[in-house]
C-alpha cells in the first residue's frame, strides 16, 4: 500500500507541569523533535493560554507537528504528519515523550493519501 504521508496521533500522559506550561520550553522541544525526525523546519507558531496551557505548530517541509497541552493534567495531545521517506514521525513522538518527562504515550498511525487506485478514482470524479 503506497501512501503520501504518515500521521501519528499521540496521547502523552504523566508530563511535567512546568515543562508543559513553559512556552519557550515547549517550542524548543517541538523544534528539536522535528529535527530529531529529520525534518526541515519552515515556520514556528506557539500561543500561551491563561491560566495555563500551550498550543503550537511547527510547519515542516514534510508537513507539520502540532501540540495542545493541559499542564494541570500532565497531558499533551500531539500530532505529527510527515510526507516522504526521509522523516520518521515516531522519532519525533518518542523524543517528545522523553523530553516532556512523560511516563506513558499511546499513539496511532494513519496512512494519509493512500495512492493505490487514487489516480483512477480521481479520473472518475
**What is the three-class DSSP state of 20?**
helix
Distance CA 100, CA 113 (A): 31
Catalytic residues: 63, 68, 83
Averaged pLDDT score across all residues of the chain: 93
Which element (helix H / strand E) includes 76? strand 75-83
Q: What is the pTM of this model?
A: 0.89
Q: Any idea what the Cα angle at residue 90 is, between residues 89 and 95, rounded to 5°? A: 105
Is residue 115 over pLDDT 90? no
Peptide bond into 97 cis (omega under 30): no
User: Which domains are present in the chain?
Assistant: 3-123 (3.60.90.10)
Give 44-72 pLDDT, tens digit per residue: 999 999 999 999 999 999 999 999 999 99
What backbone phi and psi angles, to 5 degrees, belong to 60?
A: -120, 160
Banded model confidence at residue 120, pLDDT cuts 50, 70, 90: low
Distance CA 24, CA 65 (A): 16
Q: According to the model, what pLDDT value does residue 119 have?
A: 55
CB of 76 within 8 A of CB of 15? Answer: yes
Q: According to the model, what pLDDT value does residue 3 have?
A: 87
Give 82-108 pLDDT, tens digit per residue: 998 899 999 999 999 999 999 899 999
Distance CA 41, CA 3 (A): 22
Distances (CA, A) of 38 to 8, 19, 52, 63, 91: 15, 23, 30, 12, 9
Amino acid at each position: 500500500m503506497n501512501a503520501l504521508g504518515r500521521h501519528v496521533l499521540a496521547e502523552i500522559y504523566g508530563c511535567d507541569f512546568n515543562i508543559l506550561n513553559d512556552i519557550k520550553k515547549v517550542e524548543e522541544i517541538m523544534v528539536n523533535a522535528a529535527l530529531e525526525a529529520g525534518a526541515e523546519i519552515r515556520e514556528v507558531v506557539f500561543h500561551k493560554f491563561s491560566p495555563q496551557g500551550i498550543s503550537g505548530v511547527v510547519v515542516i517541509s514534510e508537513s507539520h507537528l502540532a501540540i495542545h497541552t493541559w499542564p494541570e493534567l500532565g497531558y499533551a495531545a500531539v500530532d505529527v504528519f510527515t510526507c516522504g521517506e526521509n522523516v520518521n514521525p515516531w522519532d519525533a513522538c518518542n523524543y517528545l515523550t522523553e523530553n516532556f518527562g512523560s511516563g506513558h504515550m499511546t499513539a496511532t498511525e494513519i496512512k494519509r493519501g493512500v495512492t493505490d487506485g487514487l489516480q483512477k478514482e480521481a479520473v472518475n470524479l
